[in-house]
Amino acid sequence: MKHYKCRLLLLFVFFQCSHLAIAKVHLFSFNNSEEEVLNIDHFEQALTRLVYLDSIQETDSLIQYIPKAKALCGRINKFKTKDFELLNAVGDVYDYIAYWHYKNNQLTDALVDFTHAHEIYLHTGNKRSEATALNNKAVIYSTLGNKIESLKNFHKTIKIFLDLGDSTGIVTGYSNIAKIYRQQKDFQSAQNYLKKAGSLARNLDAPLLLSRIINGLGGIKREMGELELALSLYREALALTKSAGNQVLTAQILNNIGVVYLEKEDYKEALKYFEESYEIANSINSEPGKGHTLNNLAKYYTKNNNTEKALDYAKEALKIGKTIKNDEIIRKSTALIFEIYQSQENWKEAFIYQELLMKQNQAIEKNAIDQVAQQELIRLKLENDRFLAETELAKQTIAIEKKNQRQSILYILLGVLFVLLLVALFIIYLRLRSSRERNKYITRQSEERKLLLKEVHHRVKNNFQIVSSMLRLQSYNFDNEELRLNFDEAVNRINAMAIVHDAIYRQEKFKDIDSKTYLEKLIEQLKNTGDHRVLFEVDSEEIPFKIETLINLGIALNEMITNSFKHAFNQDNIQPKIFISFHAIGEKEYEINYKDNGIGISKETYTSNFGMDLIETIFENYEGEMKLVEDQEWNTSIKITFKEF
């Protein structure tokens, strides 16, 4: 939720930022009930909704939602709440709302909300967020013309960055302070701060940041009349900017170099740099860059007595300035056009542009007055917000008292109910006492039956083991290998049934047994007696089967796995594999897929094999069907479908 924090800084020359990444989110319903206990989720959801509405440019919905979000924030007393994580979430909501106000040129509201965010971050000790809020306040104060407050906030920002050891933040802060001093024509102070910023920036791997600083120093030197030094600084900044690949700043610096040559009256060099600047600005569609360069081209042609071209360039700059609402471009181009018409004694046109220029100057004066009024409005809004916060706190206190009263009444009612409950429990106890002995007798009988049933299953399991061991011992006496293998197959069939009884013995549930558990035990048993190289892959659902069904399935799977061990795999097969899947395909209807990567099975062998006959016989009792299917990945693939009744 923090990624939006630096977006405000994109609007300023020295502000570094990261771009906002927004994923589309579910639009939740908003609830701001005074009775609801607020937690961090409320504010994270509020911020999510603000970001979402902003990302899809739902301005009307956002305008309606912002007061609700601020009312939600107002319910938290930022100086009494001890949950700092919750407070930081509240600060994030204020911060984003402030950003939105700033983006829409609502500077007063933006400054008020950034102030709320700053106070919260200061209280929670969230230094980086506090620095961001302070920086944004400083920017707005600078825009409103309150340079003193702007400088105060920038200095506080730098102090935090010094504590954090954030060199980039310190450099940016020094650059912003230098910009304010330059606007006030205090070139010495501006230079001092830019030199501090430059000294730090040279130790950072940030050529673009360093180029901005050097470009700013070049501008100061140009305004001080030190043109050669300005030119040298501009060239250094240009080299850094080109290495960073920033076309916008490259065009700006080229334009600045052209201005220096124009002031030196080296018109040929000036024209060369202006044209190169315009070409880059035009290629990247930078309207401000084009507007400033066109004004300088108009100055160039005015000095070279080509007033026709000068007028064309100045009017084109004026058009761009009006399109992008850039007051500086508009004012400079208007003044140029007025001077040209005045020099031509074209008084009619000169009067038109003089009147336009006067309106612009009046607008500037009005803006200065409005800035003073805005600052007073900011103070009143902050006081009003504090009053509303105190009022909200009083409401919460009253609500808590009412809640406590309701709880007292509830406790009395609960006490009465508790007494009645004790009486009822005593009556129930008397009735239960008479039936307790009878229940003990029933429970004892049930336990005896369970033990007896477990003993039966245990004995069956032991008998299976005895029969299996006897058959295996008997097979050792046969010299006939085929007869011995037949005995081994019989042992495996008995083991398949024994595994079912083993599963019954180990659990309390005797009716149904999980097929997946049974299958895993069967495979483990066969792996110990078969080919240890074989890799089994099982994809089975946990299907509860009756005992007799599971025994038959075990015998069938035992036959298929044993057949694979005996006939499918040879020494040429580096990694023998068997795949078994077991899934329900309908109501009491199931499907088994058995596959191996052995040498394959022919249809003749398939139809004449005793094991296959046994499997078919088993599944005929379950209305089953077994067929050999083709599979490009497996040499043998058998599909079986059956039903359990």
Split at pLDDT 50, 70, 90, the class of 12 is: very low
Task: Count CA within 13 A, CB hemisphere, residue 12.
Answer: 24
Q: Which pair of tokens denotes residue 88?
A: 């930081």
What are the pLDDT digits (tens) for 99-146? 999 888 888 889 889 999 999 999 899 999 999 999 999 988 888 778
DSSP letter assigned to residue 7:
G
Give me the mean pLDDT over the 17-43 stretch.
54
Q: Which pair of tokens denotes residue 466?
A: 């005895």
Angle at CA 106, nearest 5°, toward 334 and 333?
A: 10
What are the pLDDT digits (tens) for 515-527? 888 788 888 877 7
Higher pLDDT among residues 416 and 95, named by residue: 95
Q: At what angle do helices 307-324 and 287-303 cross, to 10 degrees?
A: 160
Is the Cβ–Cβ distance between 570 and 529 less than 8 Å?
A: no
Is the Cβ–Cβ distance between 318 and 333 less than 8 Å?
A: yes
Whether residue 375 is predicted with pLDDT greater than 60 in this model: the reply is no
What are the pLDDT digits (tens) for 399-445? 667 777 888 888 888 888 888 888 888 888 877 777 777 777 777 77
Q: At what angle do helices 481-505 and 347-475 cross, to 10 degrees?
A: 120
Torsion sign, CA atoms 208, 210, 216, 218: negative
Give me the mean pLDDT over the 575-583 stretch.
93
Which residue, chain included where needed, has tokens 């083993």?
502
pLDDT for res 153: 92
* Beta-carbon contacts of residue 27 (< 8 Å; ≥ 6 apart): 49, 52
Instruction: Give the start-end residues of each E strand in 125-166.
Output: none
Mean pLDDT of the chain: 81
What are the pLDDT digits (tens) for 271-289? 999 999 999 999 999 999 9
Annotate 3-20 with b (16+ C-beta within 10 A) or e (fewer).
Answer: ebbbbbbeebebbbeeee
Split at pLDDT 50, 70, 90, the class of 351 is: confident
Whether residue 507 is predicted with pLDDT greater than 70 in this model: the reply is no
- Written as one string, the DSSP assignment of 127-186 is HHHHHHHHHHHHHHHHHTT-HHHHHHHHHHHHHHHHHHT-HHHHHHHHHHHHHHHHHTT-
Whether residue 18 is predicted with pLDDT greater than 70 in this model: the reply is no
Higher pLDDT among residues 270 and 354, named by residue: 270
Using CA atoms, how far residue 194 sits from 151, 218, 257, in Å, is: 15, 11, 19
User: Within 10 Å of residue 645's Cβ, how many Cβ atoms?
Assistant: 8
Split at pLDDT 50, 70, 90, the class of 29 is: very low
Whether residue 454 is predicted with pLDDT greater than 60 in this model: the reply is yes
Whether residue 393 is predicted with pLDDT greater than 60 in this model: the reply is no
Using CA atoms, how far residue 156 sits from 137, 171, 182, 571, in Å, is: 11, 14, 20, 79
Split at pLDDT 50, 70, 90, the class of 19 is: very low
Split at pLDDT 50, 70, 90, the class of 476 is: confident
Higher pLDDT among residues 6 and 219, named by residue: 219
pLDDT for res 141: 87
Whether residue 9 is predicted with pLDDT greater than 70 in this model: the reply is no
Q: What percent of the chain has pLDDT over 90?
A: 26
Partner residues linked to 537 by β-bridges: 579
DSSP letter assigned to residue 28:
P
Q: What percent of the chain has pLDDT over 70?
A: 81
Higher pLDDT among residues 563 and 528, named by residue: 563
pLDDT for res 10: 34
pLDDT for res 28: 41
Q: Which pair of tokens denotes residue 145?
A: 């013309």
CA nearest to 284, candidates 234, 243, 249? 249
pLDDT for res 25: 37
Higher pLDDT among residues 35 and 346, named by residue: 346
Split at pLDDT 50, 70, 90, the class of 6 is: very low
Distance, in Å, from the CA atom of 364 to the CA atom of 366, rounded to the nearest integer, reads 5
**Poorest-pLDDT segment among 176-190, 389-403, 454-468, 525-539:** 389-403
Q: Which pair of tokens denotes residue 273?
A: 């740099």
pLDDT for res 94: 92
**pTM, 2 dp:** 0.51
Phi, psi of 106 (to 5 degrees): -95, 75
Burial of 387 (0-12, 13-18, 19+ CB in 10 A): exposed
